[in-house]
Amino acid sequence: MKKILVLCTGNSCRSQLAEGYLRYFANGKAEIYSAGVETHGVNPKAIATMQEDGIDISHHSSNHIDEYKNVDFDFVITLCDHAQQRCPFFPSNAIKFHQNFPDPAKASGTDAEIMEEFRLVREDIKKYCSVFIHDNV
């Protein structure tokens, strides 16, 4: 079974969304992990926006990359330029992918405007994850 790690800065938004969608699209055919180069806790707006799409990530936790240093990943996906630059060396043959997504946690404006940014990023990550699973798992 393939092991996939999604990595972003704080493991609070983008990687949490990706973990949820990768699990959904893989449908048990891959082990999905997410982590950050820092840990910021799972953002409640990330949980809410995924719930709108029928995916429950409320049980997810914010994990640090060091927690997985002994896991032999098949794929490592960085979701932001910051994580890509700080991504540690993995002593494995993991194939690395990178796609920079905006951080919805940095959105400003009214609550409605911020949630709309979360939805836009969610939809971009959803499309990316669907294609990734189709092409690699």
CA distance to 58, 85, 110, 114, 133, per residue, from 77 (Å): 22, 12, 31, 25, 12
| Catalytic-labelled residue, pool 26, 65, 76, 80 | 80
Q: Which of 48, 71, 87, 115 is catalytic?
A: 87
Catalytic residue check, 13: no
Euclidean distance between CA atoms 100 and 41, whole angstroms: 20
Q: How far apart are CA 33 and CA 65, in angstroms?
A: 10
d(CA 35, CA 39): 8
Clarify whether 129 is annotated catalytic: no
Q: Verify whether residue 80 is a known catalytic residue.
A: yes
Report the DSSP pairing between strands 75-78 and 30-36: unpaired
Indicate which residues carry an active-site annotation: 8, 80, 87
